[in-house]
């Protein structure tokens, strides 16, 4: 029996691995995006009685007056069970991914939100995430990688926690 947030993070890995495999069976490869996974992530988090805000303006990285571009946003701001944490979602298209932007947002979030934690959720083909290298950020894996191994193409999900600075 896992305690939170380990329980919900494990459920996310299981759920996303199966969901991406389901999308592949439906020949929906173009739906393999971070945004395409918002709905199942939101359902899993809320099923575990967490309150969730998607596309949360990243504290500490507010846009300066006159600055071009959109405000930096965290994919998920999650609270409940006396916890508060951020989740950034990343699709691995190769076995080496640059996580610099995710790292900067998660670090700023954790520095600005007292007592918070910050996680990076990476999904993709087993061949890409089984031996993945995260470049330009410092993270530690949480639990084991979960794979949906049905047929030829296998999909999986890994979750990492932002290392202490």
Tens digit of pLDDT for each residue in 12-24? 999 999 888 888 8
- pLDDT grade, residue 165 (50/70/90)? low
* Residue 151 clears pLDDT 80, i.e. is over it: no
* Mean pLDDT of all residues in 32-38: 85
- Sequence spans of domains, the chain: 6-60+71-162
Of the two residues 31 and 5, the one the predictor is more confident about is 5
Count Cα neighbours of 8 within 13 Å in the Cβ-side half-sphere.
Answer: 25
pLDDT at 24: 80
pLDDT at 65: 56
CA-based max dimension of the chain: 52
Output the average pLDDT for the chain.
91
Of the two residues 82 and 28, the one the predictor is more confident about is 82
- Top CATH class of 6-60+71-162 equals alpha beta
């Amino acid at each position: 029996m896992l305690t939170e947030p380990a329980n919900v993070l494990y459920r996310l890995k299981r759920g996303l691995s199966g969901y991406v495999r389901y999308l592949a069976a439906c020949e929906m490869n173009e739906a393999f995006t971070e945004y395409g996974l918002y709905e199942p992530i939101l359902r899993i988090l809320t099923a575990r009685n967490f309150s969730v805000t998607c596309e949360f303006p990243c504290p500490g990285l507010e846009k300066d007056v006159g600055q071009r571009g959109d405000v930096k946003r965290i994919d998920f701001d999650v609270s409940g069970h006396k916890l508060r944490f951020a989740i950034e979602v990343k699709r691995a298209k190769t076995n080496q991914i640059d996580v610099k932007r995710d790292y900067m947002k998660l670090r700023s979030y954790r520095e600005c939100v007292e007592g918070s934690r910050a996680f990076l959720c990476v999904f993709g083909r087993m061949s890409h995430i089984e031996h993945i290298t995260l470049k330009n950020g410092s993270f530690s894996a949480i639990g084991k990688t979960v794979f949906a191994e049905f047929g030829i193409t296998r999909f999986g999900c890994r979750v990492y926690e932002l290392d202490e600075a």
